[in-house]
């Protein structure tokens, strides 16, 4: 269905016949869409109203530009407007990867609207790239090492071209196989790859406008687009513990995630340490998981579950275990 709010028209995926009960709103990750939640939604028990939103610039939602200087608030404000437009009362939020950061921003700004939060391999509360240590301190004041300039240009080109092949390690299908899932065959792979290809490409969306830096590795956050919105100069949630009320958080993550990790293969600092990006001065990798754990430890009301033999997408790789954990969390909340 389509829902028009003052900001934009959003496409929302629903489950037929599930129009009553406590609302559960699913928020997808980067380079994907609400379609990634299709099976997880349908498998939840009765008693919930199930919705998954396409974020701006993804799926069938309006491609409104992203002001990265607001961090993830363009996305989180869209989500809270959707909640208000649908008249949802205290919603359960489920966020994967980028969506994890977005639902935490909703929680930070509107805790009274949230019944529970489930984080699925979320980005760090200190963004993606350009920070060190569990406290998320900036490696350089300008956020060097993060932002749109860190994107692989061949992947961006293939994404824009709608490449469905597996001829290159940087094709969307190859990235899905090697990074979204832990080299695990996934039913309906073509369905998910096509959902990746709904991503709008450009300065206003993915990856965003690139900026340069005098410091290694020579890239810094720009002002528009999704990767810049994730930059630690724009997005920081180290004060999450200061909100009230504090609804319960379930954090589910795959042990073998190569995207969100303390040694992420998508982090330029770690790639420099591996010798894959030349000229590294020894900048340490961003400890993404450790940063999330530190922020949630201060928050207090959380539980962490690590799934073995699982990459970035527990809801696709271990659907039965994921659905059981989510259903238990919703029921307890």
Domain encompassing residue 279: 2-332
CB 132 within 8 A of CB 64: no
Please give the average per-residue pLDDT across 88-102, as a whole number: 97
The answer to whether residue 18 scores a pLDDT higher than 90 is: no
N residues, the chain: 333
Mean pLDDT of the chain: 97
Q: Can you give the pTM of this predicted structure?
A: 0.97
- Looking up residue 305, the CATH number of its domain turns out to be 3.40.50.1820
CB 78 within 8 A of CB 10: yes
The answer to whether residue 29 scores a pLDDT higher than 90 is: yes
Nearest to 121 by CA among 323, 304, 325: 304
CA distance 152 to 272: 15
Burial-class residue 281 by CB neighbours within 10 Å (0-12, 13-18, 19+).
exposed
What would the pLDDT profile of 202-229 be if each residue is shown by its tens digit? 999 999 999 999 999 999 999 999 999 9
* Residue 245 confidence (pLDDT): 94
Please give the average per-residue pLDDT across 270-294, as a whole number: 97
The answer to whether residue 83 scores a pLDDT higher than 90 is: yes
Confidence of residue 17 (pLDDT cuts 50, 70, 90): confident
Nearest to 330 by CA among 250, 218, 267: 250
Percent of the chain with pLDDT over 70: 100
What would the pLDDT profile of 247-273 be if each residue is shown by its tens digit? 999 999 999 999 999 999 999 999 999
CA distances from 156 to 70, 83, 202 (A): 23, 32, 9
The answer to whether residue 19 scores a pLDDT higher than 90 is: no
The answer to whether residue 97 scores a pLDDT higher than 90 is: yes
Please give the average per-residue pLDDT across 58-67, as a whole number: 98
* Residue 183 confidence (pLDDT): 82
**Number of independent structural domains in the chain:** 1
CA distance 193 to 18: 27
Q: Which residues contact 83 (CB under 8 A, 6 or more apart)?
A: 23, 25, 91, 113
Confidence of residue 239 (pLDDT cuts 50, 70, 90): very high
* Residue 184 confidence (pLDDT): 82
* Residue 91 confidence (pLDDT): 98
Residue with tokens 């129009």: 19
The three-state secondary structure class of 201 is strand
Confidence of residue 325 (pLDDT cuts 50, 70, 90): very high
Please give the average per-residue pLDDT across 143-159, as a whole number: 97
Helical ranges in the chain per DSSP H: 38-42, 73-85, 98-109, 153-161, 172-175, 189-196, 226-229, 268-273, 288-299, 314-317, 319-332
* Residue 243 confidence (pLDDT): 96
Burial-class residue 301 by CB neighbours within 10 Å (0-12, 13-18, 19+).
middle
Q: Which residues contact 254 (CB under 8 A, 6 or more apart)?
A: 121, 182, 306, 307, 310, 311, 312, 313, 314, 317
Please give the average per-residue pLDDT across 54-67, as a whole number: 98
């Amino acid at each position: 269905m389509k829902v028009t709010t003052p900001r934009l028209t959003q496409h929302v995926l629903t489950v037929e016949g599930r129009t009553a009960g406590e609302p559960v709103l699913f928020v997808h990750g980067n380079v994907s869409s609400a379609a990634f939640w299709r099976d997880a939604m349908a498998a939840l028990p009765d008693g919930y109203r199930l919705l998954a939103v396409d974020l701006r610039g993804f799926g069938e939602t309006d491609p409104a530009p992203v002001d990265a200087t607001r961090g993830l608030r363009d996305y989180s404000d869209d989500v809270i407007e959707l909640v208000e437009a649908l008249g949802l009362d205290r919603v359960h939020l489920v966020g994967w990867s980028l969506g994890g950061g977005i639902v935490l921003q909703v929680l930070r700004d509107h805790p009274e609207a949230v019944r529970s939060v489930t984080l699925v391999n979320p980005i760090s509360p200190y963004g993606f790239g350009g920070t060190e240590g569990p406290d998320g301190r900036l490696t350089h004041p300008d956020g060097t090492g993060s932002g749109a300039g860190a994107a692989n240009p061949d992947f961006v080109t293939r994404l824009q071209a709608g490449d469905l092949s597996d001829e290159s390690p940087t094709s969307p299908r190859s990235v899905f196989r090697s990074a979204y899932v832990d080299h695990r065959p996934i039913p309906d792979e073509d369905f998910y790859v096509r959902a990746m290809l709904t991503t709008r490409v450009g300065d206003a969306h993915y990856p965003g406008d690139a900026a340069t830096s005098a410091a290694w590795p020579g890239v810094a956050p720009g002002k528009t687009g999704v990767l810049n919105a994730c930059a630690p100069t724009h997005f920081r949630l180290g004060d999450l513990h200061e909100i009230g009320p504090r609804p319960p958080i379930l954090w589910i993550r795959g042990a073998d995630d190569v995207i969100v990790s303390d040694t992420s293969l998508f982090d330029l600092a770690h790639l420099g340490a591996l010798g894959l990006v030349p000229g590294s001065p020894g900048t340490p990798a961003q400890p993404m998981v450790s940063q999330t754990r530190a922020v949630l430890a201060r928050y207090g009301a959380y539980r962490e579950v690590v799934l073995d033999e699982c990459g970035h997408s527990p809801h696709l790789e271990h659907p039965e275990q994921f659905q059981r954990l989510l259903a238990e969390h919703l029921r307890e909340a």
